[in-house]
Amino acid sequence: MNKTVFLGALTVAGLAAGIAGAATLDDVKARGKLNCGVTTGLVGFAAPDANGEWTGFDVGICRAVAAAVLGDPKAVEFVPTTGKTRFTALASGEVDLLARNTTWTFSRDVDLKFTFIGINYYDGQGFMVPKALGVSSAKELDGATVCIQTGTTTELNLADYFRKNNMNYEPVPIETNAEAQQQFLAGACDVYTTDASGLAATRATFENPADYVLLPEIISKEPLGPLVRHGDDEWADINMWTLNALISAEELGVTSANAADMAAAPGNNPEINRLLGTEGSLGAMFGLSDDWAKNAILAGGNYGELFEKNIGENTPIGLARGLNAQWTEGGLIYSPPFR
Amino acid sequence: MTTFTDPPAESFKLSMLVYDTRYRSITFQILALVAVLLLFGWLTMNTAQNLNDLGKEPSFGFLGESAGYDINQRLIDYSSQSTHLRAAFVGLLNTLLVAAMGCATATVIGVIVGVLRLSGNWLVARLMTVYVEIFRNVPVLMWIVLCMAILIEAMPAPSAFRGDNPDATMKLFDTIAITNRGVYIPEPLFSRSLGNLHIGTAFDISINLLAILFVLGVSLWIARDITRRANAKQEATGLRPRTWHTRLAVIVLPTAILLAFLGFHLGYPELKGFNFAGGTYMRNSLIALWLALSLYTAAFIAEIVRAGILAISTGQTEAAAALGLRGNRIMSLVVLPQAMRVIIPPLISQYLNLTKNSSLAIAVGYMDITGTLMGITLNQTGRELETVLLGMLVYLTISLIISGVMNWYNNRVKLVER
Ligand SMILES: N[C@@H](CCC(=O)N[C@@H](CS)C(=O)NCC(=O)O)C(=O)O
């Protein structure tokens, strides 16, 4: 009896003591690997491919950070998290960075104590229904059964939306996207609701994507971004500026194809030179090598490349840039200057 | 002549704490206790320190804030505007509901299977063995997920009931609708309501329900009294008066009259819009969880029942038979009363297991207390420590109550021995 109590206590102690200290950068360097929290599988954003390699738009962020910090885009340990487990995983130090379609909200920032390092996808919540249902607007969904991932903002938006419009619904709470897909396809729910990007990505994996439609209503703002714990500003800076480097690279025309050449033979654009570390030494200011941004860009390409390769119009997911175009192209994607 | 010498005055030496068997066990127990307390103290401080570092001082204030999410199965009034505390209550009631349904069904199935496993019929006995072995050797989570998958994939969607020539129809004279979202059964309705009893501002209980329960309780009590009298008479005179018709009347009539007075009728499910409306809706998640938990636990209960019956020596059965008792009487008068005391203690732990296993509910999206308090509330408020502690407290309380009740029952049925 005493022995079990003791062992149990030890496990708890291990858990309690496991909460990482402030110096995440040192921890990651010492470990030689970045622990990155991703989805359990959402094609285009984060999912293992046929060879078991994680790929996707969010995975790209993990790889860019690993490349910037450790010089190796493969030095990432991917930790699949559900909508419910992701925050515990981050808060407890199990992951150093969470890149999992996570909406930046006040309470997640202030109350849950996380720092969002930027926005890598401007999204909103949508509804998907089978075409056969004959529904053309979310306003016609009174009385419908709705599949919804628990522990998400979408769950709260849904409650608000139906209340505001005086409609009833039957929520079917689900843990992962895969389960939602199963229930939705079997007709156990009429509607699947989540971020519009997630719906597009989910629909792309259906056998007959054309049998399902996204309703025109977008009922919320879902600025999706990667996040880290409060309390380690240096680590937050590294992640934020890695994302900014990818965004700036697109704006400045630096791609995975030309970054190495541009770094080897510096041109006369000082901002590109600062970004690639051939002028000044921005990297050293937060404890990284000067070619950190170059490595990040080489990992999977700049922001635009990541977008086109994983979720862009030429992929089955087929998302248009829309709000996620560079500010110079009329979108909201905008990086502060590198200087 | 004998000389008495005093035994040498025993002086207490510190080493005796270890070497003297009189003290040794106490010494070590105290040492262990101190070690455990220190460990817990350190754990608590460590946790508090870490939470402080994260800027999250433990606080239960979140329970009073509005929850913001909806729950599908609610036994009490609840909306997304209600508090997290109320959401936890809704979850608690759902836990209790599935646990009660599960325990009842598991007991019935378990007893039947356990008895049949001892049957002289080779085929029946073997079938029951197969049942027991299959169910208790596969983790219950898989049974839950499997039940859910079958319900979702094999049953027709509500849309299949639509149209002039529908693919699916309602069962049992159009009173029950079985869909892949759950089963709709007729619901009891009253055209005359006695109103609601308000407990504080938070809970309403229908007086109709209370009245029915009260009348039924009194009837059962009277019926038991009739049996007791019949027993007394049998003991005194050897003749047992026929009582079943009076007992039946006492049980059924008052309740029936009350129901008629309240205007009892059934409400039937009907296809309306996306779903059926009316009737009582038993969601897939409830059915899957209930079935899986019952079938799984029943396998264990069957073994307990079998062991209990086998523990009564065959001599007893034979002796009873020699006295001229018939099979079912031997079972109910001789074997079962003795078997009970072997059966009940392990049965308690099966009930406790079932209740705790019901926390796997989230696998099928059943909104029990792990789904609300320790699920969505935890996630939306980020209060891991507080919600999990509360949740553990709840399960501990439920378990203690169950074992309290069962122990009380055990004390009542156990044989009085010398
Ligand atoms: N943006 C919302 C929802 C995030 C979310 O759960 N998205 C789903 C669908 S877009 C997902 O990533 N599922 C993948 C999985 O189940 O692991 C939030 O942050 O709460």
Residue B413 to residue B410: CA distance in whole angstroms: 5
Instruction: Identify the pLDDT of residue B416.
Output: 63
Residue A333 to residue A248: CA distance in whole angstroms: 9
Q: Which residue is associated with the tokens 């009076």?
A: B246
For the CA of A179, the closest atom of ligand 1 is 16
Q: Where do the domains of chain A lie, and which CATH numbers do they carry?
A: 23-120+225-329 (3.40.190.10), 124-221 (3.40.190.10)
Question: Mind telling me how many Å the CA of A235 is from chain B's nearest CA?
Answer: 15
Q: Which of A36, A100, A104 to mutate to test the pocket of ligand 1 (most atoms within 8 A of CB)?
A: A100
Q: Which residue is associated with the tokens 């919804």?
A: A148
Residue A225 to residue B43: CA distance in whole angstroms: 34
Ligand 1 atom 6, closest CA: A83
By the 8 A CB rule, do B396 and B95 touch?
no
Residue A100 Cα to ligand 1 middle (Å): 7
Question: Mind telling me how many Å the CA of A67 is from chain B's nearest CA?
Answer: 28
Residue B274 Cα to ligand 1 middle (Å): 26
Residue A323, Cβ neighbours under 10 Å: how many?
Answer: 15
- A314 touches B: beta carbon within 8 Å: no
Backbone torsions φ then ψ of B356, nearest 5 degrees: -70, -35
Partners of residue A133 in chain B, C-beta under 8 Å: 159, 274
User: CB-CB: which of B40, B50, B272 is closest to A19?
Assistant: B50
Neighbouring residues of A93: CB distance < 8 A, sequence distance ≥ 6: A18, A19, A20, A229
Residue B379 Cα to ligand 1 middle (Å): 13
Q: How far is CA A71 from CA A46, A290, B116, B226, in A?
A: 21, 11, 68, 87
Neighbouring residues of A64: CB distance < 8 A, sequence distance ≥ 6: A73, A242, A243, A245, A246, A296, A297, A299, A300
Instruction: Identify the pLDDT of residue B4.
Output: 67
Partners of residue A111 in chain B, C-beta under 8 Å: 381-382
Instruction: Identify the pLDDT of residue B2.
Output: 60
Question: Mind telling me how many Å the CA of A22 is from chain B's nearest CA?
Answer: 9
pLDDT band at B144 (very low <50, low <70, confident <90, very high): very high
Q: Amino acid letter at B257?
A: I
Mean pLDDT of B2-31: 79
Partners of residue A145 in chain B, C-beta under 8 Å: 181, 274-275
Which tens digit of pLDDT belongs to each residue from B314-327? Answer: 899 899 999 999 88
Q: How far is CA B356 from CA B51, B115, B170, B353, in A?
A: 28, 26, 35, 5
Between B197 and A262, the more confident residue is A262
Ligand 1 atom 19, closest CA: A102
Residue A179 to residue B284: CA distance in whole angstroms: 14
Asked if residue A19 has pLDDT above 60, the reply is: no
Instruction: Identify the pLDDT of residue B20.
Output: 82
Interface of A with B in 228-257 (CB under 8 A): 229-231
Interface of A with B in 76-135 (CB under 8 A): 83-84, 87-88, 91, 107-108, 111-113, 132-133
Instruction: Identify the pLDDT of residue B417.
Output: 60
Which has the minimum average pLDDT: A27-41, A297-311, B142-156, B189-203?
B189-203
Asked if residue A10 has pLDDT above 50, the reply is: no
Taking an 8 Å cut-off on Cβ atoms, the answer to whether A87 and B379 are in contact is: yes
Partners of residue B376 in chain A, C-beta under 8 Å: 84, 150-151, 155, 173
Q: Which residue is associated with the tokens 């049942």?
A: B131
Residue A191's H or E segment, with its range, is: strand A191-195
Residue A181 Cα to ligand 1 middle (Å): 13
Asked if residue A13 has pLDDT above 50, the reply is: no
Q: SS3 sequence, B288-354?
A: HHHHHHHHHHHHHHHHHHHHHHHCCCHHHHHHHHHCCCCHHHHHHHHHHHHHHHHHHHHHHHHHHHH
Q: Which of A36, A38, A39, A157 to mutate to test the pocket of ligand 1 (most atoms within 8 A of CB)?
A: A39
Give the three-state DSSP class for A214: strand
Partners of residue A24 in chain B, C-beta under 8 Å: none
Taking an 8 Å cut-off on Cβ atoms, the answer to whether B274 and A143 are in contact is: yes
Instruction: Identify the pLDDT of residue A325.
Output: 96
Question: Mind telling me how many Å the CA of A77 is from chain B's nearest CA?
Answer: 24
Mutate to test the interface with A, among B47, B54, B368, B373 (most CBs of A within 10 A): B54
**A244, A294, A232: which is closest to A97 by C-alpha?**
A232
Residue B258 to residue B254: CA distance in whole angstroms: 6
Four-residue CA torsion sign, A34, A38, A44, A47 = positive
By the 8 A CB rule, do A145 and A172 touch?
yes
Instruction: Identify the pLDDT of residue B183.
Output: 93
Residue B156 to residue B146: CA distance in whole angstroms: 17
Instruction: Identify the pLDDT of residue A108.
Output: 93
Residue B87 to residue B84: CA distance in whole angstroms: 5
User: CB-CB: which of B42, B72, B381 is closest to A170?
Assistant: B72
Taking an 8 Å cut-off on Cβ atoms, the answer to whether A16 and B43 are in contact is: yes
Asked if residue B56 has pLDDT above 80, the reply is: no
CATH superfamily, domain B64-186+268-413, is MetI-like (1.10.3720.10)
Mean pLDDT of chain A: 91
Ligand 1 atom 13, closest CA: A177
Asked if residue A234 has pLDDT above 90, the reply is: yes
pLDDT band at B342 (very low <50, low <70, confident <90, very high): confident
Instruction: Identify the pLDDT of residue A22.
Output: 64
By the 8 A CB rule, do A25 and A235 touch?
yes
Residue B172 Cα to ligand 1 middle (Å): 42
Q: How far is CA B234 from CA A10, A91, B231, B327, B331, in A?
A: 64, 72, 5, 21, 20
Residue A105 to residue B5: CA distance in whole angstroms: 88
Residue A123 Cα to ligand 1 middle (Å): 12
Residue B159 to residue B32: CA distance in whole angstroms: 65
Mutate to test the interface with A, among B50, B167, B283, B374 (most CBs of A within 10 A): B50
Ligand 1, CB cutoff 6 Å, lining residues: A 39-42, 82-83, 101-103, 149, 152-154, 176-177, 194-195, 198, 222, 224
Taking an 8 Å cut-off on Cβ atoms, the answer to whether A231 and B53 are in contact is: yes
Report the first-to-last Cα separation within chain B, whole angstroms: 49
Q: Which of A194, A219, A224, A317 to mutate to test the pocket of ligand 1 (most atoms within 8 A of CB)?
A: A194
Q: Using CB atoms within 10 Å of the CB of residue B389, give its burial: 0 to 12 exposed, 13 to 18 middle, 19+ buried.
A: middle
Residue B147 to residue B363: CA distance in whole angstroms: 11
Mean pLDDT of B88-95: 95
- A12 touches B: beta carbon within 8 Å: yes
Residue A247 Cα to ligand 1 middle (Å): 23
Mean pLDDT of A183-205: 94
Mean pLDDT of B269-290: 90
Mean pLDDT of chain B: 89
Q: What is the DSSP letter of A333?
A: B
Question: Mind telling me how many Å the CA of A84 is from chain B's nearest CA?
Answer: 6
Interface A-B, measured as beta-carbon pairs within 8 A, has a size of 135
Neighbouring residues of B84: CB distance < 8 A, sequence distance ≥ 6: B62, B63, B64, B65, B66, B67, B373, B377, B381
Instruction: Identify the pLDDT of residue B58.
Output: 82
Q: What is the DSSP letter of A91?
A: H
Residue A83 Cα to ligand 1 middle (Å): 6
Which tens digit of pLDDT belongs to each residue from B371-410? Answer: 999 999 998 888 888 999 999 999 999 999 988 988 888 8
Asked if residue A2 has pLDDT above 60, the reply is: no
Instruction: Identify the pLDDT of residue A333.
Output: 96
Q: What is the DSSP letter of A103?
A: B
By the 8 A CB rule, do A79 and A200 touch?
no
> If you measure CA to CA, which chain B residue comes closest to A231?
B54
Helices (H), chain A: 2-17, 24-31, 57-70, 86-91, 106-110, 153-164, 177-185, 196-204, 233-252, 259-264, 270-276, 282-285, 292-300, 303-310
Which has the minimum average pLDDT: A180-184, B96-100, B158-162, B258-262?
B158-162
Q: What is the DSSP letter of B375?
A: I
Residue B395 to residue B99: CA distance in whole angstroms: 12
> What ipTM was reported for this prediction?
0.82
> If you measure CA to CA, which chain A residue comes closest to B31?
A2
Residue A256 Cα to ligand 1 middle (Å): 29
Which tens digit of pLDDT belongs to each residue from B189-202? Answer: 888 888 888 877 77
**B101, B146, B91: which is closest to B363 by C-alpha?**
B146
How wide is the angle at C-alpha B222 spanned by C-alphas B218 and B225, nearest 5°? 145
Which tens digit of pLDDT belongs to each residue from A73-120? Answer: 999 999 999 988 899 999 989 999 999 999 999 999 998 899 999 999
Partners of residue A171 in chain B, C-beta under 8 Å: 69-72
Angle, helix B84-116 to helix B122-136, in steps of 10 degrees? 150
Instruction: Identify the pLDDT of residue B387.
Output: 93
The beta strands (E) that lie in B106-236 are given as: 177-179, 182-185, 187-190, 196-199, 203-206
Which tens digit of pLDDT belongs to each residue from B57-76? Answer: 788 999 999 999 999 999 99
Mean pLDDT of B352-374: 93
Give the three-state DSSP class for A76: strand
Question: Mind telling me how many Å the CA of A271 is from chain B's nearest CA?
Answer: 37
Alpha carbon A172 to its chain's center: 24
> If you measure CA to CA, which chain A residue comes closest to B365?
A173
In this structure, what token pair is assigned to residue B271? 């296809």
> If you measure CA to CA, which chain B residue comes closest to A144?
B274
Residue B114 to residue B97: CA distance in whole angstroms: 25
Asked if residue A221 has pLDDT above 50, the reply is: yes
Q: What percent of chain A has pLDDT over 90?
A: 86
